[in-house]
Amino acid sequence: MNMKCPLLLFVLLSGLLSQTGCAGSEQLSGLDNQENSSIEQNPSSQNPSTKLAPTLVMNNGLTLPTAGIGTYSLHGQTCFNSVYSALKSGVRLIDTAYMYGNEKEVGQAVRQAVADGICKREDITVITKIYPGTQYEHPEEAIEQALSKLDIGYIDIMLLHHPGTNDVKAYKAMEKYQAEGKIKSLGISCFYVKELSEFLPRVNVKPVLVQNEIHPYYQDTEVVDFIHKNDIVVQAWYPLGGRGFQDELLKDPVLADIAKAHGKSIVQVILRWHWQRNVVAIPGSSNPAHIAENHDIFDFELTDDEMNRIASLNRNEKHDWY
């Protein structure tokens, strides 16, 4: 990430800090106390010095970890395990949504990790989203529902999942909840230059982040620059091309060549590329080994030439419609 960019100025104290006090109990209660034995134990959590991603300062002065995990399509015990394992690996940023149907499991994993001494609630940033349609029509109900399902005291960042009818009304309801301290920060998702240009003048609180599809085959540089110029964090969904769309990307010969030069995986090179582009990636994974690998990107640096080679892979190839 570019240290010269004020938006992305890291809180140096949190950069790659070793977190102490992680010992806690190794007893996991799991989802509603079901099938505890199926919860993966991540050996790295035994290490008292868990590596954390650097954080950045958002436009409202709050901090945001610069690497996270997404939970789209993860449910039940699988979702709980992913989030719990991510927290054990040092991930402190978790993305969920009403539409994913897993806010409850995400909240349970967060509460369990806090109870087990893995981290403090205030060190974790949980993002959730409300969805167009009924939720935008009755935003207070939607927000109350999210608060209740997550059950983690407050929501760190709530996003509008998409532009749509009543989006300004829904956002203004989120502003009200932010003023009451029940939501800490507000953001939007799937907003591009046209949508942002129309939306931003109509709301009172500037979003802290915009979450959009971004990966090496869909780099969307014009939109990324536009968002950064507005002092808003850019977050990448489908940072690895998206579940089910990865056959080519994860075998790309240019990425394979760069990965080999650094002794890293192609996935780590992609995630490092996002990070050096000042884009916060939230890769989804149900595999604890992948989750740990995805977080291990802070000990190498892509050269300008390598960044340019990855830039040249852009195909404007969107992998989803929104």
Q: Which amino acid is at 215?
A: H
The partner residues of 233 in beta bridges, in order of sequence, read 209
Q: Which amino acid is at 153?
A: G
Binding segment (CB under 6 A) for ligand NAP, from list 36-44, 56-64, 237-245, 295-303: 237-245
Largest CA distance in the chain: 52
| Burial class, 222, CB count within 10 angstroms (exposed 0-12 / middle 13-18 / buried 19+) | exposed
Q: Is 267 in the site for ligand NAP (CB under 6 A)?
A: yes
Residues 155-214 touching ligand NAP, rule: CB under 6 A, are 161, 189-190, 211
Q: Which amino acid is at 143?
A: I
Residues in contact with ligand NAP, total (CB under 6 A)? 27
Residue 20 C-beta: closest distance to ligand NAP, Å:
27
Residue 316's CB is within 10 A of a number of other CB atoms, namely 8
Binding segment (CB under 6 A) for ligand NAP, from list 4-12, 103-111, 140-148, 242-250: 242-250
The one catalytic residue in 84, 100, 217, 218 is: 100
Q: Is 78 in the site for ligand NAP (CB under 6 A)?
A: no
Q: Is 72 in the site for ligand NAP (CB under 6 A)?
A: yes
Q: Is 283 in the site for ligand NAP (CB under 6 A)?
A: yes
Residues 4-63 touching ligand NAP, rule: CB under 6 A, are none
Out of 103, 284, 296, 306, point to the residue binding ligand NAP (CB under 6 A): 284
Cα separation, 157 vs 178, whole angstroms? 9
The partner residues of 56 in beta bridges, in order of sequence, read 10, 64
Cα separation, 208 vs 185, whole angstroms? 7
Catalytic residue flag (residue 217):
no
Buried/exposed 191-212: b ≥16 CB within 10 Å, e otherwise: bbeebbeebeeebeeebbbbbb
Out of 230, 287, 309, 313, point to the residue binding ligand NAP (CB under 6 A): 287
Binding segment (CB under 6 A) for ligand NAP, from list 18-26, 28-36, 101-109, 285-293: 285-293
The end-to-end CA distance of the chain, in Å, is 27
Binding residues (CB under 6 A) for ligand NAP: these are: 70-72, 95, 161, 189-190, 211, 237-243, 246, 267, 282-287, 290, 293-294, 322
